[in-house]
Amino acid sequence: MADTLFFTRALLPEGWADNVLLTCEHGVIHSVRHDAPPPPAGISGAVALPGLASLHSHTFQRAMAGLAETRGPSSDSFWSWRQVMYRFLGLLDPEDVEAIAAFAFMEMLEAGFTAVGEFHYLHHDRTGNPYADRAELAGRIVAAAGTSGIGLTLLPVFYAHGGFGAVPAHEGQRRFLNDLDGFQRLVEGARTALLALPGARLGIAPHSLRAVAPDELQALLAAWSEGPVHIHIAEQVKEVEDCIAWSGRRPVEWLFDHVAVDDRWCLVHATHLNEAETRHLAESGAVAGLCPITEANLGDGTFRLAEYMARGGRFGVGTDSNVEISAPGELRQLEYSQRLAHRARNVSAMAEGDSTGGTLYRAALAGGAQALAQPVAGLQVGQRADIVCLAADHPDLVAATADRHVDGYVFCAGRAAIDQVYVGGTRLVEGGRHRGHAAIANRYKDTIRKLAGR
């Protein structure tokens, strides 16, 4: 771990600065100086950005990327994709889960993410029975995070039902299910597993209003009064319609009517909001967990970003299904979805002269840090030294100044501009490649070949 890092340019909370010297203690930034002379050890990197968090991921889905892109007998949707996902996850053993997670986490690091919120709902064995260690698969996620070096907030998922009104779960959901007692033991096991991972955080995730009954949601919130709370909500039109049929309320309306939603909360997707729901969410201090690439892949719909941002709403981005892992790619897709919906350009930039990439990057940085309860809100004292360093001589960045670096990264170069990535001051990626790339990728490819034959 480096105690001193020096960058020729860096994005600091107060703006861009030249010749930035960071000192770190135990991976945490201890001092920040700009216009500093290079230290004897020389220059660490060219253009330093604070690392973004992927606030929503299901790592196992990385291994089914590309397997659900063939048209079925009727019109395809989220729900037909979910059937493919259920068949696929029925094949996975614990070592498969770990190999896939390590590969996905490594790709996140190579693609500009330094922390991840793993919304972990695959709990039981292939027949649906708990493992002898109820937190076996949570432990595999923790081990994979350790192998990759990424910052982890683990979000064990409570999942009990197959639809609104406590409809019984079906066969494809057998590996997810817990009652409240089983979930308590799972979370305690996950807490123990996380002790092995410095800086890790623990939250909880009631899966959705489909999978969690109202009394169960209240019991979860009573039992865990601290730490992040993440929930999938209003991703699909059918989900909104089913929620209205069940309760007379839309999902986000129902949540705000029944629960005190505050800055502990991350509402994942929140795609289908009306004007009042958009206002309530923005005013609550909660984070909207947007997953633009997955939402586009699944045909979910478009978040009301411009209205939400105009009301000061907080958001971050997540890689969710991990069909394509890219921090700049998520921000680009987010902006492009807005351009297509509004038939306008630079929708996310709030004022004349604002950089769109810079606006999105700063917002996703703050929202991701809040949603994951991780000290990754920027290059300042007390925050972890999580840094994405871009190559200043990339063709899209050679003449860049200030936020044009972020625009070039987000809209043109993408992850190809990434030179180095640090987590807690430790350099994990160099020349765009993770230091454990070959071993992690080989293990992943062996796993995929094995699963293909299963």
The interface with Zn ion within residues 287-326 (CB under 5 A) comprises 320
| Spatial separation of the C-alpha atoms in residues 309 and 338, rounded to whole Å | 12
> Which residue lies nearer to Zn ion by CB, 82 or 450?
82
162 burial (CB, 10 Å; 0-12 / 13-18 / 19+) is middle
**φ/ψ bin of 230: left (φ > 0), alpha (ψ from -120 to 50), beta (otherwise):** beta
Which helix (DSSP H) or strand (DSSP E) does residue 330 occupy?
helix 327-342
> Which residue lies nearer to Zn ion by CB, 325 or 429?
325
E strands in 272-375: 287-290, 314-317
**Choice among 58, 269, 394, 434 that is catalytic:** 269
Question: Are 10 and 4 within 8 A, CB to CB?
Answer: no
Q: Least Å distance between CB 57 and Zn ion?
A: 8
| Spatial separation of the C-alpha atoms in residues 266 and 395, rounded to whole Å | 37
In this structure, the dihedral spanned by the alpha carbons of residues 273, 278, 254 and 122, taken in order and rounded to 10 degrees, is: 70
Q: Least Å distance between CB 289 and Zn ion?
A: 8
> Which residue lies nearer to Zn ion by CB, 55 or 363?
55
Our answer to whether residue 170 is catalytic in this structure is no
Q: Least Å distance between CB 56 and Zn ion?
A: 6
Our answer to whether residue 56 is catalytic in this structure is no
> Which residue lies nearer to Zn ion by CB, 136 or 320?
320
Question: Are 285 and 312 within 8 A, CB to CB?
Answer: no
Length of the chain: 454
# residues near Zn ion by CB under 5 A: 1
> Which residue lies nearer to Zn ion by CB, 118 or 320?
320
Share of the chain residues as helix, strand and coil, in percent rounded to the nearest 5: 40, 20, 40
- Which residue's CB atom is positioned nearest to Zn ion? 320
Q: Least Å distance between CB 318 and Zn ion?
A: 8
Q: Least Å distance between CB 141 and Zn ion?
A: 15
**Choice among 242, 320, 386, 419 that is catalytic:** 320
Catalytic residue numbers, as ranges: 269, 320
The residues binding Zn ion (CB under 5 A) are: 320
